[in-house]
Structure 1
Amino acid sequence: MPLPTLSDHRKGLLLTAIGGVALSMDIPLVRLANGDMWSIVGMRSITTVVVTLVIVCLIRWIKGSWPAMVPGRAGLVAGGLYGLSTVTFLLAVFNTTTANVVFIVAFNPMFGALLSWLFLKERPSMSTLVTMVVMILGVGMIVGDGLSGGNSFGDAMALLTALVLAGAITVGRASRRAMGFVPLLAAVLPAGLGLANALPAGLVIENPAWIIFNGAVLMPVSFWCLASGPRYLSAPEVGMFYLLETILAPIWIWLIFSETPPVMTLIGGSILVTAIMAHSLWMVRRQPATEQAPAV
């Protein structure tokens, strides 16, 4: 009996789930590498670019044609946003706690809902609007605690990362084009910036194997999966899979480094996670069962 093929919606769910799990290991590997920020940015990004070019050449050799890499103007815009998000994300990692970073970046789906409303005319549901209000409360608690703890710059970079990522996802959603290679090739922007700042004094990375593995394996997998998701899912749905990093990254950090988040971060993060999970479950229950396409 032929196996049914996955519907587009289920493809999107599977891709973004894989991407979210892979992304959750990013911060722990950055911390394990133990290096200067610009050295980490440069090494992580240049390995991603090199691996991407190797994959593209292999596809060209196997299929006899080049894969779609940067689809027109939308691809350039999305690439610029993905490149910027890498820099702001690592600025956040080096200037505030891991829990603050992942909980604030979890605001991404709500930014995605707002941008989709403004530019794609995809009006968010009442449940989404209520969730946004609750998430603003949670982020406010984390950022307020960061201000008193001297982490305001790192928290601001995390919030900017959430906005920039939401913008990149929205551009991908609007274009409906294949964007899987865009964030990978866009790593050339942070690679150039990082190496330009680090090389005059020399790369400073105590354990480079961790950051090379991160840039060569985990980042290509996570970026490609998450950038491909908007072909099948809405921008808020894709953004919600960044919640996997929000949940898992603090656990990895706690297991590896015994780093316990501040109380206000845990409270605000719990509000964020609860709000997004409740909204996600509500959306899944409302999502009609998609008919499976017949196998060819």
Structure 2
Amino acid sequence: MDQFYSLCLQGDLNAAMDYLDSIQPRTKEMEKIQKMYMERFYSPESDEHILDEDKWIKGVLAAYHDYFRTVLTNAASLHEAEADLNNRLRMHLKVESPSTIDETENELAAIFAKKGYHFLGGVTPPYRGAYIWKRCEPIDFKVEIPHHSITVTVHMMSDFLLEGWMGFATFNNRTVGGWAQEDGLYCNSKRYKNLEHDDFQVSYLKHEAQHLSDYRSFPGLTSAELEYRAKLVELIYTKDHSILKKFLNDAKNEPEFPHPYASYNIMKDLSFAIFEKDYESNINVWLEEDYQEISSAALELFDKNTSELKMKY
């Protein structure tokens, strides 16, 4: 099901469902998943179970759920879907004067804070969030990234009500691990049960620490540029082909999706560096290559990119 969830994370549920339909023979688990998706995304009477009983919170979540359904099934344009979301939220807030979606979400954040929740709005490209969670515990880590170390505060988040469009698109089977902000890193703690495992130490901690370092050194980088550098850091520090296999599976040459687009550019650049090919898509070819060679090539790409950015800035 990795390919299915990768298509979901590329923001096109219709393509993901077509892919699921094409799989033969089908398992009971696949049939169960298809039924869940049909009920969530294609049923006119879809109704999500919301953990909190607060009617105001239920109304906000319902507005975001409907927005996610709309954009993920291409039922309306992004502009139309966002305008509808903003109108629904403003009506829920009982705000009559026109407000941008960002202003509306700032008001939501203030009310959620009074109700004991954290709220993060904005965009996880190409769609809007939001993320809503209850608990947050800070922990300090010293993190080695290429050519230096930094000390970061990681805010361990838990008890989520909403995990953005990616969580909604995958029934939280694939969710955002966290993000970097000026005041530190934010981590979805349920994703990482063992803080010593590479899933946390490399794919989360080093990845997000690189974002934090780049915010300071190269302000203004696009999301795709940030992801390109942070994903290279993962390849530099991991010990085997597992992350590379994930990047190859997720890669998509579409700039509006920063994560898949960064994976695509990394695989393209590594293909040229190692095989002198435009793009090697066969995972078996990659698995035959000694991983240390791949890691070294990733470091060379990272250093080359850093030199280019230093010239630019």
Band the TM-score falls in, shorter-chain normalisation: under 0.3
Q: Larger % of helix: which?
A: 1
Task: Provide TM-score, normalisation by structure 1.
Answer: 0.24
Higher relative contact order (CA 8 A, sep 6+): 1
Larger Rg: 2
